[in-house]
Amino acid sequence: MTLALSAALRDALEKWLATRGAVHGLAANTVAAYRADLLSHLAFMVAHLGEGGGVRVLRAVRIADMRAWMAHERAHQVSGRSLARKLSAVKNFYRWLSEREGFDATAILSIRAPKAPEKLPRPLEADAAMAIIDTAGEIAREDWISARDMAVLTLLYGCGLRISEALSLNMADAPLPDTLRITGKGGKTRLVPVIAPARDVVDRYAALMPFAREADAPLFRGKRGGRLSARQAQKVMEQGRLMLGLPKSATPHALRHSFATHLLNAGGDLRAIQDLLGHVSLATTQGYTAVDQVSLMEVYDRTHPRAGAGS
């Protein structure tokens, strides 16, 4: 379907993506997701309206057409949360294009996203988190791969790293220092303390790793020496959870959730945890922590600068 789009429309899309990347500092995978979402939407509209694949077809889009697209997405099992994300990208693109091409996009911009049900993270219990890390070390036949898998998962649970952040580390980062400087989403940089067990397991892996050790080479390698992919790490978690009888929610990202929740349950400062995770919003950090409401409010009262202040 995407082949029906004109060169002008594709060019407009690429210019918008370049603007988003330059102005907002979006990561490459985020830009790629926007591109896929927009190509799918535009292809639908071209087919739905049957007016060719040029920019002018978008001038004809009305509320009913947008609702038809949303119904099409839901019919293809797109969740409310995913549809809301896609709609946000679509509206941003139409807003930019309408200003550039001089047409009224009010009808499109007035469409509201479906209300997504609140999806709370499901962190692992501390024992389960430790067990899946240990189990990861028993899956591969090669010692260096077993050590690698344990090291990656330990960084997620012990330091709260995103899987992409752990896998972006290079040989220059080993041996790990007491504090890592991590560049996360949106180019936001933060300092993350590295616990001793994480340093030890990474040291063990690095000693066994059979590939060249140039400073700019990836720290975590696949079997052929290239940078380990997130999918490979996810497969290790999948095998581990099956061996331990854990639910499907036991993913690499669940270890990051567990890091935050276990720190908060132990009395950690909510704002400090926010900084460790690299969240812009305190509300996002609250969403990562699965503690009872009373405990959360006690921490909130101690940490929020407005808590307890007179109205």
Query: Catalytic residues, which ones?
Result: 162, 185, 253, 256, 279, 288
Residue written as tokens 């004109």? 6
Q: How far apart are CA 124 and CA 247, in angstroms?
A: 10
Q: Which of 217, 234, 226, 218 is nearest to 156 (CA)?
A: 234
Sequence-ordered alpha helix ranges (H) in the chain? 7-24, 28-49, 63-75, 80-101, 106-109, 126-136, 143-159, 163-167, 196-208, 230-244, 252-265, 270-277, 282-287, 293-303
Contact 113, 141 (CB under 8 A): no
Q: How far apart are CA 41 and CA 268, in angstroms?
A: 44
Contact 275, 193 (CB under 8 A): no
Spatial neighbors of 273 by CB under 8 A, at least 6 apart, are: 260, 263, 264, 285, 289
Token pair belonging to 44: 């639908």
Bridge partners of residue 182, in order along the sequence: 190
247: cis peptide before it, omega within 30°? Answer: no
Contact 227, 163 (CB under 8 A): no
* Count of C-beta atoms within a 10 Å radius of residue 219: 25
Spatial neighbors of 127 by CB under 8 A, at least 6 apart, are: none
Contact 150, 205 (CB under 8 A): yes
Q: Is the dihedral of CA 167, 172, 176, 178 positive or negative?
A: negative
Q: CA geometry: angle at 164 spanning 267 and 236, to 5°? A: 90
